[in-house]
Structure 1
Amino acid sequence: MKVTGVKFWLFLSLVFCHPVITISQNFRKSTDSLQSQLSGKIADTAYVNTLNRISNELHGRNFTEAIYYANLAIQKAEEIDYKYGVSKGYQNIALTSWANGRYDQSLENHKKSIEMFRTGGMTNELAEAYNKIGLVYFYIAEYDEAIGYLNRSIEDYRARRDTANLARVLNNMGLVHDAKGDYASSTRYIIESLQLSQSFRQLRDQQNRTYGKGMIHENEFINRPILEERLERIERVSESGSAEQLANLCVEAAEIYFVLKEYNSALSYYRRAAEIYAELDEQVLLAHCLRDQAECYAELADFGTALEVFRQSESIYLREGNYIRLAAVVAQLGETNYKLGNIEESILHYKRLIALDDSVGHRAALSKTKVALAGILLEQGKKQEALSYAQSGYEIAREIGSLTRVETSARQLYECYKAIGLMGTALSYLEESTSLKQKFGDELTHREIAELQIEYESEEKQKAIDQLSEVSELQSNVVALQKQLLMLMGGGFAAFAVILVVMRNRLIKIRELKSGIEEKNAHIEEQNFKLEKRGRERELLIGEIHHRVKNNLQVVSSMLRLQQRKVQNVVAKEALFAGQNRVQAMSLLHQRLYQHGSYGKIPIADYVSDVCKHLAKVYNLDTQKMESSFEADNVNLDIDTAVTIGLMANEVYSNIFKHAYPFVEVLRLHSEIKRENGLTIRITDNGPGLPEKIDFNETGFGLRLVEMLATELGGEATFAGGKSEGLTVTISVAEAYIV
């Protein structure tokens, strides 16, 4: 039992707060240089910019000084009416506050900065400012606010066609939806981010192979040469470089060793860096190194030493007021104590972590920690206390709207109530947890398929390019040799004997090259065959997923039908019946996908017709008393849009079969789907129609649902036909939703 995700939060804080250790190879020298510029004769705007640069370099390691320089920049910029300088000063205060866990202060200053960027027409700064404040809201689990600001950043970067930054912010948006448990939305953003980044990946890997300025990579082939280059630089800097540069290079080498799982080597370089940072009195960087050392000891299963070094790191973070990293270390102390069997110590650290998460506003982490602590307490037989923490974690997860946290906390509540003996309550939480887990599993499967497809297509495309280049080179060689033959043949009879020998050699070479071309062509054909095979395998896998989803929906429908039989209340029976029909409407789509294999494009006319026929059977209509006609253009839609239209059709046909069919001798039903300014779906009957004045707020849920779903598709739903005139329902869908 442990609190997972600590490294994830630290990763976010390190990446998004721009720590100096990865930005600057020589921090102190850079800061001293900037400070020396302040004493010289420079323009007022340059003076403000220098103050802001100093604040920016300090914000990850010295909260007090970073705030001091940012305030100086704001004061000076206001004196000279330099709005950009004021805006950057507020932004530096926001970044410094964020890096040290002061989120309210960070949000306040980010908003001041954004307002000044906006009113001052500094549009180039706005996109990144929106991204930064969105990430702060993400930290404190206010996901709707985070999504709002990240959407603005995406719009700005998209309008400016800044592909690299757009990919980065799309990925951030995917992380926010991922934290909520909305994996379908998360997948859309992450896949788009991957697709945009794909064109940069080959260039990035090629640059990494120069080993001059490579980042740590997932591939050992790239990491090894980068490591060798770092070690060579460490030797050079040890002889004639600065201490700060040497320490930073040692950290980089240690990080690569850690990725390569060579923990003893990583330890030696972390220790060397820590000694230098201690001599330089760089306390925050020293704490980072100590914590990294402790993680190496933990990987080596030396938990006693890891615990001691974690405590050293903890004391520095506590003294420096660096609450984010302090919370991460406290979590690791709790986890390490648990592994050592110090259960009471572990519980105390988790309770400290709860207080820290609560004080800085990490509500998602707070929910997770409480659930983890509940698990430990339950193992110790403290059932009521465990239940209290699990219930609190569940309520926080519900409040912030994180379905992932809801799932894990519901599972823990099941365990707690089961241990207490309240099996009815336990089963309700188990059902909620299982339902969410099933949903996550299906959506994550879709994401994995999409990500693998992107990676696979990129790799195969590169292979094909490489093979075509080889064939082209061989063909060029053949052409060159043929030209040489022609030149030799025109050399004259005097050199005939020599030419015969040369020609013989050249012909042999040509045959060899042609043989090589044939081999390459055969290899390309083999690769094409493999591509086709993998494509068929992918289609089978996607088909199996739709089959699985259809079966799951059938199970849900059966559960609703069983529940309907036990319910006595008429209104509740009708609600369950309507819900069952909606589930069946979605099931029909996945059945069609599974049977026909049209995974990307759905013929909407066929699907709507299926819904109508299914409902006619459900309502047990007499086919002799019903005349149905259908006109439709050939229109294809994606799965999400098709499901929405299927739900609307379900509601309209259900309404007709309930309220029109019983009052006419023969029900005349006409449906049509046309391409008119997008897509128009019109369904008409000859029933009693609608009252002259109808208030949709007082009608059943069905017609209101049609209106809401039509709005989601950028259109609207209208209901026409007075008393005894029949009913005509017209639904419009925006052009953007048509494949």
Structure 2
Amino acid sequence: MKRNLILNLIWSLLFSVYSFVVCAQQEDLSMQNEDYYKQFQELENGELRTFFFFNTPNRYNQVSPYDWLDTVKVYLNSSEKTKDTASIRNYQLIQSQIYYDLGNYQKSLAISKSLYDNLDELDMELKKTILDLLDDNYAKLQMFSNQIEVRRIKRELGLTENIAFYDIYASLGQYRKAMTDYMTEEKKELKDDDYYGQAIYNNTIGEYLRLDKSAPTALSYFKKSEGLIQVFLSDVTNQRTDKEITDGKILKAIIIGNIGKCHLQLKEYEKAIPYLEESRDIIKTFNKSKFSSDFIENTLALADCYLKLDNFAKATDYLSDDMTPVKTENILKRNRIYADFYYKTGDFKNATFYLKRNIKIRDSIDAQASNIINQQLTSVVAQDLENSRKMMEMQKAELEESRKDIKARDDKISLVFVSLIFTLIGFAGLVYAYLKSIKNQRLIAEQKFIIENALVEKDSLLKEIHHRVKNNLQMVSSLLSLQTKNTTSKAAIEALEEGKSRVKAMALIHQKLYQNDDLSVIEMQGYIESLINSIQSVYKKGGHNINIAIDAEGVELDIDRAIPFGLILNELVSNSFKYAFPHDDSNGKIYIHLRKMVGKEGFFEYTDNGIGLPDDSEERAKSSMGFRLMSRLANQLQTTLNTDKTTDGVRFWFNFK
């Protein structure tokens, strides 16, 4: 009897699940069969059509965006003839969204910018739609400064409370910073029963981790996100709109695709393929005819998987799929997969062709990308710090207002106590003073905590900038090394080596800065030791047997003095290695002395016991680039480089402020 009851319960449960699946499939089918294009045409005016268009997520289910665009152009021309400004504006807004859906972000931006010029005349709903379009287009085109301005306007209009920058940091490659800011901004707004929001939250964190090459950790977030979106779609207790169902399905496709890309990153190609194919199918169904970067990335990932598994037929099927990558990384990835495919199939000519394509794209990007990214990062950081400062000021004002309210309330209470119990005035005063002191201390502690956190963040960002500058200078040094290998002229090689040495001296300054806890000064003893090691690596044939004594312990210089000082020292040590010991450097000695006392002039001395300067050294100094460079660098230190010929070699010295 008990066994039969259990079996009946199991069959009932299975029947419920089957009924739910069938209903869901029927609902999806009805959504796909709905003729939204015809419904759009049957509406009476531009306002109704605009509302319908922006509230119909799966509008291209039967008719392509190009047909929609043609129809909207007809309505727009008709509105222009009748000079119906409201309808003109509505149809232009629809046009801008269609171009965005097609991936033509430049065209979409041009239309939305023209609408933005008359923003003051619009109601709040239209303002929000236009500003969201501008925000999305600027993000796709990586125009982050403009994106920041749009978000500032959103906040001023009350469309958003805070300005977040985590997506901009992610676009600039700062995935850990983006993840930290995203978790800080979004977690506090999420509710436990908001399964859709929780799914987006975990998927976004997983995406940042995947892009930061932490695939195993990312996979755990994606799995959690998949479970949450499944709960959202399966929740029969809440009636979902068509838009909510479509958004949920598309999010599910993105999550599944991300799981597949994680498996690809972990080289688990056979595990990745089912996820990527399912993701593509869902996007095709629910994001029909819209441009989708996720669809392209999943297609390229599938081609890569099949290529790694040597299934060339499947790989070429996906590579020849009708797709037009917009993102540079997707174009580079497609070219790389083509090159791998042709290399594996023995067609080296085509493999070389696609590799050359990627080299050209990377060269054109590398020429300006570093400076642009640094400028954009600096702009975002500056705006982020400005927002933090404003928030601190607002919090400070709120705390001050609260303190005033507390003080006023306490004053009233004190007056009541004075009028009622005069004998307790002394005790009440003591209690009041104590409470006020505690409150002030708490306010001061809170403000100090906020300021200290802001300073720590500023220091970390400054270190990041110095790190990037050092990397850029190292790239310049590498380019000079490459040029040296392709140059046969001895004079040119020497000039390039000297240039490389000077670039390394400057790069070392920035390296020491981002490694220091104190970003304002550089400890010179360690810097000089590192500089000499760097110079020795350039002049491989000399300088390794010379006894070098450095006396700069405890001396610290700021960057304005450290850079010219480092370049002067670079020239002096390089000249000693090249010219001071032409026959044998086993008895060679170099002495470097640096002193700087607080409030007093500094002193620098450099000597070697080499062959010394030639008799015509003054004439040579006028024509020598190295001597002219040292003289100009000494001028930057507001001093003059002095030279003394000694019996054992040469001595250079100067005083500086």
What TM-score do you get using the length of structure 2 for normalisation?
A: 0.48
What TM-score do you get using the length of structure 1 for normalisation?
A: 0.44
